[in-house]
Amino acid sequence: MVRKVSDGMSEFFGWFPSIAYENNTCIFVANFANTCVFETKDGLVVFDVPIRQFGQKTFDEVRKITDKPVKYIIFSHGHFDHAFGYGPFVEEARKKGWDMPEVIAHENCVRRFEKYEILDKYHDWINKQQFSSLIKGGRDSVVYAYETLDPTIILRENESSYSFKLGEVNFEIYHDIGETDDSIWLWVPEKKTLCTGDLLVSSFPNVGNPFKVQRYPKDWAVAMEKMREKNAEYLAPGHGRLIEGKENVRDALSITAEVMHFVHEEVVKRLNEGKWFEQIYHEMLEIYPEKFKKHKILRDTYGSYRFAIHAVYRLYHGWYDSGNPTDLFPSKTVDIAREFLKLNSESKYLEHANKLSFEGKFQLALHFLDIIIKGTDEQNIEVLTDALKLKLKILKEKAKTESAFIATNILENGAQQIKIRLKKLQKSI
Ligand SMILES: [Zn+2]
């Protein structure tokens, strides 16, 4: 169900050759999301399992290196790409008559799984949009909400850490919130390795995701700083390549902490100055420092600084974000568009949208096209078709230059919907 990713995304949704390090006792496997396996004399500890569709592939990679039984599976968080590909590991234990592995997760991960059951169809709908470029045809479910593996060791809300020892290797687990409220990360001192889950990925952090619930920029920065104190030599991120070398690990954690503090502090400052979202957003775009823009790990590959601004605002502010009472109980956009069309004809708006598009003012052109697309009568096929065609062209153009995966998918989805509508219109002629 998962397509090959474009070149730009391959560093994020990586299918890199597996890496065995520290005398082959640590195995890093990258299949869409990453799995890190630690071998001890008494068995294996598995940090994260991939998306269900890649469970077997990851399992096979691990079994090329070691045949020891899996004693622990740790979920960095309960997202579908980190906690659903457990099947082959559990099946093996069952077949061989081994003890079932302990499954470690945070209490909020259990709540998440309950939420997935309530919102089963909704999450499928959302994920098919967020990951549309990866999902062929969109028929197969990305994840089945009822196929969760119940944690057996649960970090409760009041517990910020949990430690255990296996085969003389210490495993230290910590809870911090960031991308999710169920995040846990792992420090294995004997293996000099930090496993971060999605608290660190090969992209600007996925904070302020347009489709998803609230995320926590400041706490995210704090998590990075706590991780940095461990002075790790290896960092296994949630997505992307293994980071090797103390300096590189420190740099990745430091710059991520720094950018999260930056976006948090600057938005908070503007909230205290009594500014509304639009002003804050555009000011924030202007002051974004070059050192963040240029840093490899903060590229807009998956998440985006633009989304992060929303995350901070939403953390502290309600939905009335314009300060304009017009927006408190707004009319339907269709009705507004119809009124605009009473003042001026569709062709006038189309002419103006074409002019704006020609000048490279694509976003403004879209607003004008929407007046026609929303407001005109279906019978005005000719002008409606022209408006839709121009919108399609602009969305394609914007998608081409957009680097953030989620934004690109939104633009491409929009283009796809227009193509479908255009086909229907042609049929109706
Ligand atoms: Zn992930």
Rounded mean pLDDT, 383-406 = 96
198 CA to centre of ligand 1 in angstroms? 5
Write the pLDDT tens digit of every residue in 264-321.
Answer: 999 999 999 999 999 999 999 999 999 999 999 999 999 999 999 999 999 999 999 9
122 CA to centre of ligand 1 in angstroms? 19
238 CA to centre of ligand 1 in angstroms? 6
Which pLDDT does position 1 carry in this prediction? Answer: 43
Average the pLDDT over each of 13-22, 130-139, 148-157, 404-413 and give the range with the smallest value: 130-139
33 CA to centre of ligand 1 in angstroms? 6
Write the pLDDT tens digit of every residue in 183-229.
Answer: 999 999 999 999 999 999 999 999 999 999 999 999 999 999 999 99
Q: Is the pTM of this model over 0.85?
A: yes
Would you state the structure tokens that stand for residue 126, as one six-digit string? 């959302």
Confidence of residue 132 (pLDDT cuts 50, 70, 90): confident
Confidence check: pLDDT of 3 > 70: no
82 CA to centre of ligand 1 in angstroms? 6
318 CA to centre of ligand 1 in angstroms? 28
335 CA to centre of ligand 1 in angstroms? 41
Alpha helices in 52-195 (DSSP H): 55-65, 80-83, 87-96, 107-118, 120-130
351 CA to centre of ligand 1 in angstroms? 44
349 CA to centre of ligand 1 in angstroms? 43
Which pLDDT does position 312 carry in this prediction? Answer: 98
197 CA to centre of ligand 1 in angstroms? 7
Which pLDDT does position 158 carry in this prediction? Answer: 80
Write the pLDDT tens digit of every residue in 134-156.
Answer: 775 555 666 677 889 999 999 99
Rounded mean pLDDT, 404-420 = 94
Residue of higher predicted confidence among 95 and 4: 95
**Distance from chain centroid for Cα 158:** 27
Alpha-carbon distance 171 to 162, whole Å? 8
174 CA to centre of ligand 1 in angstroms? 18
Would you state the structure tokens that stand for residue 391, as one six-digit string? 């919108």
Which pLDDT does position 428 carry in this prediction? Answer: 82
326 CA to centre of ligand 1 in angstroms? 39
78 CA to centre of ligand 1 in angstroms? 9
201 CA to centre of ligand 1 in angstroms? 8
Confidence check: pLDDT of 41 > 70: yes
83 CA to centre of ligand 1 in angstroms? 10
| Strand-pair partners of 106 | 155
DSSP string, 63-76: HHH--PPEEEEE-S
CA atoms within 13 A on the CB side of 122: 7
Write the pLDDT tens digit of every residue in 67-92.
Answer: 999 999 999 999 999 999 999 999 99
341 CA to centre of ligand 1 in angstroms? 45
317 CA to centre of ligand 1 in angstroms? 27
Are 55 and 2 spatial neighbours (Cβ–Cβ below 8 Å)? no
Confidence of residue 130 (pLDDT cuts 50, 70, 90): confident
Residue 195 phi, psi dihedral angles, 5° rounding: -110, 120
Write the pLDDT tens digit of every residue in 154-180.
Answer: 999 788 999 999 999 999 999 999 999
Confidence check: pLDDT of 2 > 70: no
- Sheet with strand 184-188: strands edge to edge: 161-166, 169-175, 184-188, 193-201, 234-239, 243-244
179 CA to centre of ligand 1 in angstroms? 9
56 CA to centre of ligand 1 in angstroms? 18
Which pLDDT does position 12 carry in this prediction? Answer: 82
Average the pLDDT over each of 24-28, 309-313, 423-427 and give the range with the smallest value: 423-427
Rounded mean pLDDT, 413-421 = 95
274 CA to centre of ligand 1 in angstroms? 36
> Ion ligand 1 — residues with CB under 5 Å?
33, 81, 198, 238
Mean pLDDT of the chain: 94
220 CA to centre of ligand 1 in angstroms? 15
202 CA to centre of ligand 1 in angstroms? 11
